[in-house]
Amino acid sequence: MRHTSYRRWIGASFGAALGLSYGLVSQTINHFYLPGIPLFQPPGGLLGNILLWTVVSTLLGLISAWSAESIRDVFICSAFASLIIAAITLMSGNNDQEDLAPKMMSLIFLLVPLTAALVPFFGILRWATNREVEFHITHSPFLRRLLVPAVLVLVVGALGAISLHSDPARVQITSMHTMLQSGLRVDRKTALPAPLQDDLVGEFLEHASQRYQIAWDNKNNNQYGIPRRMSSRGWEEAAVTAHFDDGWMLVCLYPDSQAEPSCGGFLEE
């Protein structure tokens, strides 16, 4: 019983450390590259998302170390993690009624391969947990016990760097922020930057304020029906959205990182 409790504690601790490492890097790296720009980070904002990663990873670490049956725990943990990923995917993006059923069916078919893909990761986590338990029993030196956890934390933290926006994305986000700041400094529509004068934008000066957050997305560019501009680098096309605190959002479709965007104003659903 004593070793069981220690194994579970180690599994949960490893999970917490890995979740905190990934959360810290993935949620803060864009702030370092885009200083001073308020970034949209659902569902909980910067601190809330870091806490969420830590809590969920702690739970997964505990599940992976729950019993003496390592293989069974790894598969259960992988299946549970795939369900979490499926739920997050289902709640994100455009979930119109007609799109919901096909999206759910696709996720159901992906659960098995996703679970299989996660098995190696949680297998390594369980192996590291079992290794620590053995070292605890044999009273191995602290530095020897620290090596594998430290490497795992560094590797998972490095994986969090994948969340860094690409160079074109950072240019577009900066362009959006600069345009908004220019628009907020004037008091009449004719003085606004050209993209903000478009009829599709509506009353920018009525809705806009300094309290906004910017999001970047290159997967749902068609959902708002914003007309496209010609571009020589269509592969860079992305929608940059400013979410204002009154429930209004400004969506600007950038054909590439150099061209002027086409924009529209919408109320958030």
146-165 pLDDT, tens per residue?
999 999 999 999 999 999 99
* 8 Å CB contact between 75 and 123: no
Q: In this predicted structure, what is the pLDDT of residue 96? A: 53
Q: Domain limits of the chain? A: 2-163, 167-267
pLDDT of 267 above 60: yes
Interhelix angle 97-138/142-160, nearest 10 degrees: 160
Q: In this predicted structure, what is the pLDDT of residue 238? A: 93
% of the chain surpassing 90 pLDDT: 73
Q: In this predicted structure, what is the pLDDT of residue 48? A: 96
Residue type, 39: L
In degrees and rounded to multiples of 5, residue 244 shows phi and psi of -95, 155
The region of weakest confidence among 106-115, 168-177, 227-236 is 227-236
pLDDT of 140 above 60: yes
* 8 Å CB contact between 197 and 261: no
Nearest alpha carbon to residue 153 among 245, 17, 56:
17
**Per-residue CA distances from 133 to 6, 105, 143 (Å):** 7, 41, 15
Nearest alpha carbon to residue 175 among 183, 163, 164:
183
Q: Which two tokens stand for residue 181?
A: 């700041």
CA atoms within 13 A on the CB side of 245: 5
Cis peptide before 43 (omega within 30 of 0): yes
Q: In this predicted structure, what is the pLDDT of residue 35? A: 97
pLDDT of 16 above 90: yes
Q: In this predicted structure, what is the pLDDT of residue 108? A: 76
DSSP 258: S
pLDDT of 21 above 90: yes
Q: In this predicted structure, what is the pLDDT of residue 101? A: 65
Nearest alpha carbon to residue 61 among 10, 113, 20, 95:
10
With cut-offs at 50, 70 and 90, classify the pLDDT of residue 88: confident
pLDDT of 176 above 60: yes
Q: In this predicted structure, what is the pLDDT of residue 40? A: 96
R_g (Cα) of the chain, nearest Å:
23
Q: What is the pLDDT of residues 207-246, one digit of tens each?
A: 999 999 999 998 878 888 888 876 656 678 999 999 999 9
With cut-offs at 50, 70 and 90, classify the pLDDT of residue 99: low
The Cα 61–Cα 74 span in angstroms is 10
